């Protein structure tokens, strides 16, 4: 199981900028990289249009999501996680997030009004340590 996610400082800054730019709506995107043992190494955060454009949930635009998946695959990488923002609430999975996580087993990075936290679903929500590099 994944217990650590490594992400570039510039990608952390990009996600924070996406949070600000899309307020009051949630922003979302994918985290592309590789899984090494229990660590998800993110090499690139890629913003994806929030097809729902709501304040309380998100849906990765299917076409953009597919394109991102294809591009990652071409470079021998994978989508190791998904990020989204909680512009007016804390970085804790909402009920909707929890239900969705159960069917999307990857790292969930949430940028909240109180900072960023990461999680995986492993018989429940488990915290993942974020390391910047």
Residues that bind Zn ion (CB under 5 A): 94, 97
Taking the complex as a whole, the smallest distance from the CB of residue 42 to Zn ion amounts, in Å, to 19
* Secondary structure (3-state) at 56: coil
Ramachandran assignment for 124, one of left (phi > 0), alpha (psi -120 to 50 degrees), beta (any other):
left
Which lies closer to Zn ion via its Cβ, residue 38 or residue 90? 90
Which lies closer to Zn ion via its Cβ, residue 18 or residue 97? 97
What residue number has its CB nearest to Zn ion?
Answer: 97
Which lies closer to Zn ion via its Cβ, residue 12 or residue 41? 12
Q: What is the DSSP string of 70-110?
A: HHHHHTT-EEEEEEEEETTS-SS--HHHHHHHTTS-SEEEE
Whether residue 108 contacts residue 81, with contact meaning beta carbons closer than 8 Å, is answered with: yes
Taking the complex as a whole, the smallest distance from the CB of residue 84 to Zn ion amounts, in Å, to 5
Whether residue 116 contacts residue 9, with contact meaning beta carbons closer than 8 Å, is answered with: no
Taking the complex as a whole, the smallest distance from the CB of residue 75 to Zn ion amounts, in Å, to 28
Query: Whose CA is closest to 112, among 92, 83, 131?
Result: 92
Taking the complex as a whole, the smallest distance from the CB of residue 21 to Zn ion amounts, in Å, to 17
Which lies closer to Zn ion via its Cβ, residue 6 or residue 52? 52
């Amino acid at each position: 199981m994944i217990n650590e996610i490594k992400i570039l400082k510039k990608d952390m800054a990009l996600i924070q900028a996406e949070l600000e730019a899309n307020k009051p709506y949630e922003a979302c995107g994918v985290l592309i990289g590789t899984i090494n043992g229990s660590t998800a190494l993110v090499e690139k955060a890629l913003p994806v249009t929030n097809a729902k454009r709501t304040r309380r949930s998100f849906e990765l635009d299917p076409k953009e999501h597919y394109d991102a998946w294809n591009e990652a695959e071409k470079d021998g990488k994978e989508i190791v996680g998904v990020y989204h923002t909680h512009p007016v609430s804390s970085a804790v999975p909402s009920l909707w997030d929890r239900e969705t996580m159960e069917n999307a087993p990857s790292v969930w990075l949430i940028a909240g009004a109180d900072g960023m936290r990461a999680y995986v679903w492993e018989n429940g929500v488990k915290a993942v340590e974020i390391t910047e590099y």
